[in-house]
């Protein structure tokens, strides 16, 4: 079990990451590619991704074993800013830190020669790592990024509602069952027994699409504390390559446009009905059509359902499209 110890200052500095972290998703997806869990969610993704790979999994597997420790330098905080920013930060990792973290990995398994060269500061070995991560990301993550972003935004809407309704206690209590808030300690199902004392540094909560089973955290106590946890998903929410939905032809009329514009950062069906001035049944029906068109994502939150915009829905409201990975900032909900 992992026990995260909070002080009053840590609660004040608790943050919910504003965007998916591209490197955390990339690294954690390697686990999902090799295991057989969540077939209803990841089965099609595995089938589509494997033929696009060209040896990247074999290269990266020793760095990211199926269980246990993998080096913290693979997931720098800059991954929240997009792939290129994350790769730049990874490339700039001090050599002594790379050596230290890879030495920890080598105590439990024999590393191939190129990774041993990486630990010794070989520039060519680092280029090989960056190239493998880039190629793997293009095959396994980039085609599904809009879906990943939509799932995480839906989770953020649920957590954000808890924060607004009840503050830090409610936010921490709303986390998945693998995490239990017993103030001032957050107990987390974890493969080893460990205590983390935040000591006023706060904590970044990072929902992840490819995180499953148990949450993940950094090993190095000198880094900004991060807790990566499984984002809420529905069983039918398998990652898909975005396509032009046939249901878009249904999107006609002022009421449905008003429904789309009123969802904003997330709302329940009853709230949506009040905002638009229609019955709850009508709001639910319009939200269903928008969901079929790939513009809205719906997750159950207790006895209610929470509607959020997908990237496609948000782009339609803005009147244009942009690549979500090109954003050079990380939004966050700071308490």
> What mean pLDDT is predicted for residues 69-81?
94
Both tokens assigned to 196:
């983390």
Among 217, 236, 255, the domain boundary falls at 236
- Domain housing 261: 245-318
Read off the pLDDT band of 107 (50, 70, 90): low
User: 77 and 106 share a domain?
Assistant: yes
User: 79 and 166 share a domain?
Assistant: no
- Say how many Å lie between the first and final Cα of the chain, rounded: 26
Neighbours of 47 (CB within 10 A): 9
User: 174 and 259 share a domain?
Assistant: no
Q: Report which of residues 111 and 236 the model is more confident about.
A: 111
User: 28 and 140 share a domain?
Assistant: yes
Among 78, 110, 144, the domain boundary falls at 144
Both tokens assigned to 247:
């249901």
36 inside domain: yes
Both tokens assigned to 173:
């209590």
Question: For the segment 20-54, what is each residue's pLDDT rounded down to a tens digit?
Answer: 999 999 999 999 998 877 788 888 899 999 999 99
Sheet holding 296-301, edge to edge: 267-268, 304-309, 296-301
Question: For the segment 132-179, what is each residue's pLDDT rounded down to a tens digit?
Answer: 999 999 999 999 998 898 888 888 888 888 888 889 999 999 999 999
Question: For the segment 259-281, what is each residue's pLDDT rounded down to a tens digit?
Answer: 888 787 778 888 888 887 788 88
- Judge whether residue 73 has pLDDT over 90: yes
- Identify whether the C-beta of residue 308 lies closer than 8 Å to the C-beta of residue 266: yes
177 inside domain: yes
- Identify whether the C-beta of residue 280 lies closer than 8 Å to the C-beta of residue 268: no
Question: For the segment 180-211, what is each residue's pLDDT rounded down to a tens digit?
Answer: 999 999 999 998 999 999 999 999 999 999 99
Distance of alpha carbon 92 from its chain centroid, rounded? 23
- Identify whether the C-beta of residue 39 lies closer than 8 Å to the C-beta of residue 238: no
pTM exceeds 0.85? no
Contacts of 90 (CB under 8 A, 6+ apart): 23, 73, 74, 76, 129, 130, 133
Q: Which of 2-16, 27-41, 46-60, 78-92 has the lowest mean pLDDT?
A: 27-41
pLDDT of residue 312: 78
Question: For the segment 200-243, what is each residue's pLDDT rounded down to a tens digit?
Answer: 999 999 999 999 888 999 998 889 999 999 997 654 456 655 55
Domain count, the chain: 3
- Judge whether residue 89 has pLDDT over 60: yes
Neighbours of 261 (CB within 10 A): 14
User: 137 and 28 share a domain?
Assistant: yes
Among 80, 115, 144, the domain boundary falls at 144
187 inside domain: yes
pLDDT of residue 319: 64
Q: CA separation (Å) from 178 to 37, 162, 224? A: 17, 17, 22
Enclosing H/E stretch for 171: helix 145-173
Neighbours of 131 (CB within 10 A): 12
């Amino acid at each position: 079990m992992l026990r995260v110890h909070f002080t009053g200052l840590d609660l004040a500095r608790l943050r919910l990451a504003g965007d998916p972290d591209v490197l955390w998703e990339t690294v954690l997806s390697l686990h999902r590619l090799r295991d057989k869990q969540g077939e209803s969610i990841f089965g099609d993704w595995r089938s589509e991704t494997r033929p696009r790979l060209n040896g990247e999994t074999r290269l990266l597997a020793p760095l990211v074993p199926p269980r246990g420790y993998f080096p913290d330098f693979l997931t720098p905080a800059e991954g929240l800013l997009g792939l290129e920013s994350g790769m730049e930060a990874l490339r700039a990792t001090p050599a002594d830190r790379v050596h230290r973290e890879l030495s920890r990995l080598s105590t439990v398994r024999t590393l191939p020669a190129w990774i041993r060269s990486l630990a010794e500061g070989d520039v060519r070995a680092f280029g090989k790592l960056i190239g493998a991560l880039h190629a793997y990301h293009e095959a396994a993550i980039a085609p599904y990024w809009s879906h990943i972003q939509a799932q995480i935004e839906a989770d953020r809407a649920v957590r954000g509602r808890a924060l607004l309704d009840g503050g830090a206690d409610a936010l921490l209590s709303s986390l998945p069952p693998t995490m239990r808030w017993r103030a001032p300690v957050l107990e987390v199902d974890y493969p080893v027994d460990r205590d983390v004392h935040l000591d006023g540094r706060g904590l970044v909560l990072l929902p992840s699409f490819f995180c499953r089973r148990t949450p993940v955290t950094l090993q190095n106590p000198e880094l900004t504390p991060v807790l990566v946890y499984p984002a809420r998903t529905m069983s039918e929410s398998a990652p898909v390559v975005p396509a032009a939905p046939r249901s878009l032809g249904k999107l006609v009329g002022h009421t449905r446009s008003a429904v789309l514009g009123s969802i904003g950062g997330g709302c329940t069906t009853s709230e949506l009905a009040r905002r638009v001035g229609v019955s709850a049944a009508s709001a639910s029906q319009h939200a269903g059509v928008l969901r079929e068109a790939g513009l809205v994502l719906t997750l159950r939150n207790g006895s209610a359902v929470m509607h959020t915009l997908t990237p496609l829905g948000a782009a339609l409201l803005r009147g244009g499209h942009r690549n979500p990975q090109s954003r050079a900032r990380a939004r966050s909900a700071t308490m």
